[in-house]
Amino acid sequence: MRKLTLDTQKIVLGVFILLGFSAITQARPAERWLHVRVIDNSGQGETVNVNMPLSMAEKVLPAINQGDLHNGKITTNLHMEDVDLATILDALRTAPDNEFVTVQSKDENVRVAKVNDNLVVHVVESGKDGEHVDVTIPMRVINALVAKGTHEMDLTAAIHEMEQMGDATLVTVQEATESVRIWIDSSNSGK
């Protein structure tokens, strides 16, 4: 067996250190951020920006106990007016991609669909001051949010699922006096 020289040993050690560092940095996913931006278009010029790491939101939510929010969960009656929301969401989860509801009228157009395993809601109101709403929520986030057989919506579990997602715009609302955008990405700046 050939003995390695000191220089060769240093190179081999350096390669192992770099490989180890590379494995560590690749194993650790980038921090995911929740962004909320609300812009007042009415002339007041007010803008609200929220940029929060999802890991922070996941830790903070269980510490808030206000109203129906306790321990990261919202207690609600999922049987709203004789509608079992948990059962409907379970049926939606297992259904193939499809356009489930479309409403077209002179006042608004509404579309509810499942596309690429996302629940998509699109609403466009007519008129010059009409509101445009787009919501795209991955079904795995909805599944985490709504546990079958309970009367709770688990926000902490939903945030945990969002940490596993790629970049995504969840909600946009555009109206004459205000615009809202909620999205997730790996940037802490919210731009």
What's this model's pTM, rounded to 2 decimal places? 0.73
Task: Provide the number of structural domains found in the chain.
Answer: 1
Residue in 66, 26, 20, 172 with CA at minimum distance from that of residue 183: 172
Output the pLDDT for position 123. Answer: 92
Which residue range forms the structural domain that includes residue 42? 31-185
Q: Is residue 47 one of the residues assigned to a domain? A: yes
Instruction: Say how far residue 99 (Cα) sits from the centre of its chain.
Output: 22
Q: List the beta bridge partners of residue 168.
A: 184
pLDDT confidence of residue 190: 63
Looking at the domain assignment, is residue 6 inside a domain? no
Q: How far apart are CA 167 and CA 11, in angstroms?
A: 39
Sole residue written with tokens 């479309």: 102
CA 67 to chain centroid: 23
Q: Would 2 be classed as within a structural domain?
A: no
Asked if residue 81 is part of any domain, the answer here is yes
Q: Is 15 within a domain?
A: no
Q: Is residue 113 part of a domain?
A: yes
Kindly give, in sequence order, each residue whose CB lies less than 8 Å from that of residue 145, ignoring residues fewer than 6 positions away. 153, 154, 155, 157, 158
Question: 176 near 40, Cβ under 8 Å?
Answer: no
Q: Find the range with the poorest average confidence among 6-15, 43-52, 85-94.
A: 6-15
For residues 155 and 61, give the distance between their C-alpha atoms in angstroms, rounded to a whole number.
8
